[in-house]
Amino acid sequence: MAETLFVVAPRRLGEALAEELVELGARPARVTPAGVELEGSLALGARLCLWSRIASRVLLRIGGFEVAGPDELHAGARELPWEEWLAPDGTLAVDCVVGGGLTPGITNTGFAALRVKDAIVDRFRERSGRRPSVNTRDPDLRVNLLLDRSRVELRLDLAGESLHRRGYRSAREAGAAPLKENLAAGLLRLAGWPARARAGEPFLDPMCGSGTLPLEAALVAADLAPGLLRAEAGARFGFERWPGHDRALLGELLEEARARASAGKAHARRMPIVGHDEDARAVRSAIACVERAGLRGCVHLERRALTDATPPGDRPGLIVTNPPYGERLRSPQALIPLYTRLGDHLKQRFAGWEAWLLTAVENDLPRYLGLRPARRVPVWNGDLECRLLQLPIAAAGARVLAADAPIAAFANRVKKNLRALRPWLKREGVSCYRVYDADIPEYAVVVDRYERFAVVQELSPPATVDADAARRRLRQVISSLPELLGISPEDLHLKVRRRQRGAEQYRKQDELAVLHEVKEGGHRFLVNFTDYLDTGLFLDGRGTRRRLAELAPGRRFLNLFAYTGAATVYAARAGAAATTSVDLSATYLEWARRNLEQNGIRVDGRRHRLERADCMRLLAPGRGRDDSPLARERFDLVFLEPPTFSNSKAMRGTLDLARDQRELLLGAARLLAPEGVLLFSASLRGFKLEREALAAEGLAIEDESRATLPPDFKRRERQHAVFALRRASPAR
């Protein structure tokens, strides 16, 4: 008997699902962005549950009627013969979805589902005196309710649990996977993989993560029904729990699937299906999934950097990949180097291949690939609107963005700067330094070297510069720097520096929490290249920190706005009698603690201590003068390096260095012991110290800006200001 089935697909994959269903013997009657409606038997429904790679669920329509409110919904649902599909002591769950709109009198889907559940329970109680119970996690019968204003439809879920759960991934692994398995299968069909797999073409995902795309590609190549894995693992489809279920029919379907898989795996083993990823833990998880799926020998997974990927097989094939696009842990700007590396590597090593790449609509990261998409197919990854890009990879020089040529002017300036700095770097043992400081107006970037790493800061281009031109130049910079600096492309990081207001300079950019150790002046510091706009070590303060080390021996040292404590490390290791570091951020104080410990300095709360406090309250009487013991202490050496502007919510009022310098300096001077020294540092272009006002308060001032300016920051001379302030000796 013909029944009405609705096969649910991931959003915008209805057409791909319809194509697959035709191959499975179905005749789609209506295709929607969310799925396919068709007429067919329960036997066909069982086949679709077993074989469909794209479907999420297969729903059997059992009734539809008009309603005017919740009472009519209850009455209509109670009339259906639920005992045909559920035993009186069984379990059920009701899911509700909205089509055209909510039914009048029904305010939410939860209430509608409750009314249907009550109707089913009431029917059983009236007829048998017994009633089924609710089990939302693993019910014997899952009911799907569709609300479409005054029209409702009730459907039964033949699948039971979502069909994307193949059985090869644990619940914990499934939660970490960025792609559901049926969405991955849909992407592969859009990329033409089923036909390519039959032809034995190679397949590669160079950023496979937990391996979903290579695994699904191998299932296709091996002609292995995705539902077979569930059945072999002991999981049951929803229809298997119904009274009167045809066990013989399902047995025949499973035997056919096993036979096809046995022959299909032999084919899959003869073709390369490969996945790489830099994350060893993800690769281990993917390999475990391969074992559970019985696909050993059909897919090869290994830890490998993106730029180490090589074409598997001896002919061009298909690349399908889902790189990060800044919606989970990474910001889109931080991913620009990754997309640049990906585009460069594809052009250099995969000529003749075809790549398909999934990316979010809301960012322009694909523009940094340097490849023109031939197609942009709309798809959704959960609630995120995406595009699947088809990227033909032609021979070198063909179909590549014209402006992707090397940039001689930028490269020559970097080489010139390195030649000029090399003697000084060798003589002073400097390993962290500025390489390029927006020397050429067209290439408005800053490049800092941190030993084997490099950080590129993109500055705001003038309004007259075309956005596409700026994007292309940034891509060229990122593409050329690894070779110019002799570093791995994976060790280059990008930060986009715009005009920062308030606490934006301290706002997290990413959530990777990876710290690297670098050395400066014989000291060891932890830096972070991803999570914040700044790395944790200001390279232009190198000379200032050395000056502090000269002044620190035997002195009690106070570091205000201590940030990550680099100045404190210099003072402590130079022999300061005691150190106190003050900052309002618990994150940066913990970072400072780790920096001190990296250098053998134990934070004990006595000789070396960290204080979480608002420096503005400590220094400025008008901000609510801090009456803590710290405000009554006196120090022989005070270092004051405030931000240029801050309106942090945790801080009272705002800080504007140009406006508040006198208040800050006088407050810091009050903390000086007799003969004490206040070293003040400001990084503000055109900063002018209020000398006369400070002198009138009895402070002697010595300009140490030029003496503390590092050679690699000569272009920053106008925004590097360092002054030593002391109490003036009384006239005799």
Please give the torsion angle defined by the CA atoms of residues 400, 401, 406 and 407, in that order, rounded to the nearest 10 degrees: 180
Q: What is the pLDDT of residue 72?
A: 94
- Domain of 22, CATH number, reads 3.30.2130.30
CA distance 537 to 353: 43
Q: Which residues pair with residue 64 across a beta bridge? A: 153
Residue 462: DSSP 8-state: P
Q: Residue 397 above 80 pLDDT?
A: no
- Whether residues 298 and 375 share a domain: the answer is yes
pLDDT higher than 70, residue 103: yes
Rounded average pLDDT over 461-486: 87
Q: How far apart are the first and last CA of the chain?
A: 115
Specify whether 210 is located in the same domain as 334: yes
**Separation CA 698–CA 696 (nearest Å):** 5
701 and 646 share one domain? yes
Please tell me whether residues 682 and 537 are part of one structural domain.
Answer: yes
CA distance 704 to 626: 30
In degrees rounded to 5, what are phi and psi of residue 314? -115, 20
Residue 195 resides in a domain: yes
Please say which residue of 383, 403, 423 terminates a domain.
Answer: 403
Give the pLDDT confidence of 229-251 residue by residue, as tens digits.
Answer: 888 888 899 999 999 888 999 99
**Could you read off the pLDDT of 104-137 as tens digits, one per residue?**
888 899 999 999 999 999 999 999 999 999 999 9
Strand order in the sheet with 556-560: 608-612, 578-583, 556-560, 635-640, 672-682, 721-727, 699-703
**Residues near 126 by beta carbon (within 8 Å), at least 6 away in sequence:** none
Q: Residue 404: what pLDDT?
A: 46
Give the separation between CA 253 and CA 47, rounded to whole angstroms: 7
Do 206 and 347 belong together in one domain? yes
Query: Do residues 613 and 681 share a domain?
Result: yes
pLDDT at 503: 43
Specify whether 594 is located in the same domain as 651.
yes
**CB 534, CB 505: distance < 8 Å:** yes
Distance CA 617, CA 727 (A): 22
pLDDT at 504: 45
Whole-number pLDDT of residue 508: 55
pLDDT score recorded for residue 655: 85
Question: Residue 515, SS3?
Answer: coil
Statement: residue 405 has pLDDT above 60: no
Question: Parallel, antiparallel, or unpaired for β 453-459 and 492-497?
Answer: parallel
Residues 644 and 530 occupy one common structural domain: yes
In terms of Cα–Cα distance, which of 120, 112, 119 is closest to 96?
112
* Mean pLDDT along residues 9-37: 94
| pLDDT one-digit tens code per residue, 332-371 | 888 999 999 999 999 999 999 999 999 998 888 999 999 9
Asked if residue 176 and residue 133 are part of one domain, the reply reads no
Q: What percent of the chain has pLDDT over 90?
A: 78
Residue among 308, 249, 636 nearest 240 (CA): 249
CA distance linking residue 283 with residue 281, whole number of Å: 5
Say what the pLDDT of residue 501 is.
45
Residues of the chain with pLDDT > 70: what percent?
A: 92
Strand (E) positions, 216-310?
A: 273-277, 300-303
* Structural domain includes residue 323: yes
Within a domain: 505: no
State whether 218 and 185 are in the same domain.
yes
Residue 440: CATH number of its domain: 3.30.750.80
Q: How many domains does the chain have?
A: 4
Domain that holds residue 143: 3-157
Residue-wise pLDDT for 301-319, tens only, equals 999 999 999 999 999 999 9
In a domain? residue 434:
yes
Which of residues 119, 134, 157 is at a domain's end?
Answer: 157
For residue 605, what are the contacts with CB-CB under 8 A and spacing of at least 6? none
Element of type H or E holding 666 = helix 657-669
For residues 467 and 355, state if they share a domain.
no
> pLDDT grade, residue 650 (50/70/90)?
low
Q: Provide the pairing of β-strand 375-381 with 384-392.
A: antiparallel
Q: Distance between CA 653 and CA 656 in Å, rounded?
A: 10
Domain shared by 576 and 646, yes or no: yes
Among residues 313, 323, 331, 218, the alpha carbon closest in space to that of 279 is found at 323
Buried b (16+ CB within 10 A) or exposed e, 537-560: bbbbbbbbbbbbbebbeebbbbbb
For residue 363, the Cα-to-chain-centroid distance in whole angstroms is 13
pLDDT, tens digit (0-9, with 9 covering 90-100), for 412-465: 999 999 999 999 999 999 999 999 999 998 899 999 999 999 999 998 776 777
**Tokens coding 132:** 């089924």
For residue 290, being part of any structural domain is answered with yes
Q: What pLDDT sits at residue 731?
A: 46
Residue 549 lies in a domain: yes
Residue 540: pLDDT above 90? yes
pLDDT of the residue at 149: 87
Would the pLDDT of 706 be above 50?
yes
Tell me whether residue 507 is in a domain: no
Beta pairing class for 672-682 and 721-727: antiparallel
| Boundary of a domain, candidates 125, 157, 189 | 157
Note whether residue 572 is domain-resident: yes
Domain harbouring 679, CATH code: 3.40.50.150
